[in-house]
Structure 1
Amino acid sequence: MTNSPLPSEATISFKAICFRAFCYILFVAGAMQLVMLDAQSGVDRFTETSLTELMQSTLLLLGAVMMGYLHRRPSAIPHVSLLMGAFLFASYVRENDYWLDRYVFDGAWQVIVTLVVVPALFVVIRQRHAFVAEFKSISNSLGLGMFTAGFLTTYVFSRLYGRSEFWEAMLGDHYQRVIKDAAEEVTELAGYMLLFFACIELVLLLRRRARAA
């Protein structure tokens, strides 16, 4: 049995793939150079004021903005982008909990996350049939694959890899909290970069679909 060809909007030219891969490599290299500056600073390394934390917040916010852009295009994936955008913005708020607790009030981030996530879930559940149809339309896309990889890297692997018990067992008497923090924060950053790249890929996919329509 012969395989049916992919729809034209699903294909990406080899030249485009190489160019985007090159851009992503440059981005990762630049991000890791900033991580190196954090490591060399000797002061507040990998804390809330570090370059690593700033990059994490920036990537989450940019991803949420891109999902907001897709949400405002009804012909795209408004329900899927609403859920993804709410998730990314909630993660952005959680990354900045230190500042919210300090300058707004203790527990402010929980309130903001609830006000963002609950309405989004309500809309998605109410329009679940449309959500499922939109999800199926991107289920084989590079963007969704990268989003899944980013989610697993940040919210599963990073949490397990950054456990204090693991690093205390690994380093023994040489355990230093900064080593554990560096491992966890850099792994989180890797996941956030994947989420950011996923948002870019989804925007490009929907733009290709719009041109093909």
Structure 2
Amino acid sequence: MPPSPPQWPISFGSALLRATLYVLFIAGIAQGGYLEAIYLPNVRYSELGFTELTQTVVLACCCALLIYTRQVLQVWPTVTLLLLAFVAASLVREQDYFLDHYVARHTWKILVALIVLPSLTWVIIHRRRFLEEFSHYSNTFAFGLFAAGVLVTYIFSRLYGRQELWRAVLQENYVRDFKNVAEEAVELLGYSLILFAMIELLLLARRISKARQDAL
């Protein structure tokens, strides 16, 4: 059984550096949304706008980090497989417009099923290993960030982006663009938190991998 992650604490200097970089990233995407609204009026908050494309890039980076953690560092393979299935399914879901338009309607649903169902089956088969790995992962900063990202993206953004809410706020001045801006911007924030969680998981996995090598 691998040692508990708290045996590899994050130094204050490292935490401060990462926090600063995360703040700069959040400020960057907020500024990107502002510039999108000013300079890209024809595509702003559409599938070809800065916000939507950034969501795709962020999710693709999450997938790459998880693949490296699982395949190269070989840390928590069942947990990272489930995380990868979740993030990859989200990435495919974000491409629903292109898949429906250029391939066929509901293509994204088929692709998501092909990703999620085998992964879930594998985790269920190896559920004891998953529960053991999760007992360590659930006590990490990475898990906290991931949980926050999921809540922001899949719960808050959906509720905050409800048409009924913005009709109530704007009344006769309601324009669908307000709803889209609110929902997509919050969604990008949530995806960014998930990206930070994957970065933290990778850094933790490197410390675990190094500890394993030192123990040999």
Fold similarity call, TM over 0.5:
yes
Counterpart residue identity of residue 179, structure 1 = F
CA 1:7–1:63: 2 relative to 1, 3 Å: closer
How far, CA to CA, are the matches of 1:164 and 1:75 in structure 2?
44
Structure 1 unaligned regions, length at least 5? 1-5
Q: What residue is the counterpart of 2:114 in the other structure?
A: 115
How far, CA to CA, are the matches of 1:29 and 1:211 in structure 2?
33
Q: What residue is the counterpart of 2:182 in the other structure?
A: 183
Counterpart residue identity of residue 151, structure 2 = L
1:66-105 aligned within 5 A? 66-73=65-72, 75-105=74-104
Q: What residue is the counterpart of 2:13 in the other structure?
A: 15
Q: What residue is the counterpart of 2:60 in the other structure?
A: 61
Query: Aligned to 1:45, what secondary structure does the other structure show?
Result: coil
Query: Aligned to 2:104, what secondary structure does the other structure show?
Result: coil
How far, CA to CA, are the matches of 1:170 and 1:28 in structure 2?
26
How far, CA to CA, are the matches of 2:5 and 2:46 in structure 1?
46
Q: What residue is the counterpart of 2:210 in the other structure?
A: 211
Give the aligned length. Answer: 208
What is the aligned-residue identity percentage? Answer: 44
Query: Aligned to 1:48, what secondary structure does the other structure show?
Result: coil
Contact 1:46 1:181 in 2 (8 A): yes
Contact 1:9 1:208 in 2 (8 A): no
How far, CA to CA, are the matches of 1:7 and 1:139 in structure 2?
10
CA 1:7–1:133: 2 relative to 1, 3 Å: closer
How far, CA to CA, are the matches of 1:115 and 1:85 in structure 2?
13
1:160-179 aligned within 5 A? 160-179=159-178
Q: What residue is the counterpart of 1:129 in the other structure?
A: 128
How far, CA to CA, are the matches of 1:109 and 1:8 in structure 2?
39
Superposition deviation, residue 44 in structure 1: 2.1
How far, CA to CA, are the matches of 2:68 and 2:45 in structure 1?
31
Dislocated runs of 4+, deviation >4 Å: none
How far, CA to CA, are the matches of 2:192 and 2:74 in structure 1?
27
How far, CA to CA, are the matches of 2:170 and 2:122 in structure 1?
48
Counterpart residue identity of residue 112, structure 2 = V
Superposition deviation, residue 163 in structure 1: 0.3
Question: What's the CA shift string for 1:158-193, capped at 9, x where partnerless?
Answer: 100100001001110111111110000000000000
Q: RMSD of aligned C-alpha atoms?
A: 1.4
TM (normalized to structure 1)? 0.94
Contact 1:70 1:81 in 2 (8 A): yes
Counterpart residue identity of residue 56, structure 2 = S
Superposition deviation, residue 8 in structure 1: 6.1
Superposition deviation, residue 7 in structure 1: 6.3
Superposition deviation, residue 75 in structure 1: 4.3
Structure 2 unaligned regions, length at least 5? none
How far, CA to CA, are the matches of 2:171 and 2:110 in structure 1?
39
Query: Aligned to 1:72, what secondary structure does the other structure show?
Result: helix
Q: What residue is the counterpart of 1:28 in the other structure?
A: 26
How far, CA to CA, are the matches of 1:42 and 1:160 in structure 2?
26
Counterpart residue identity of residue 95, structure 2 = N
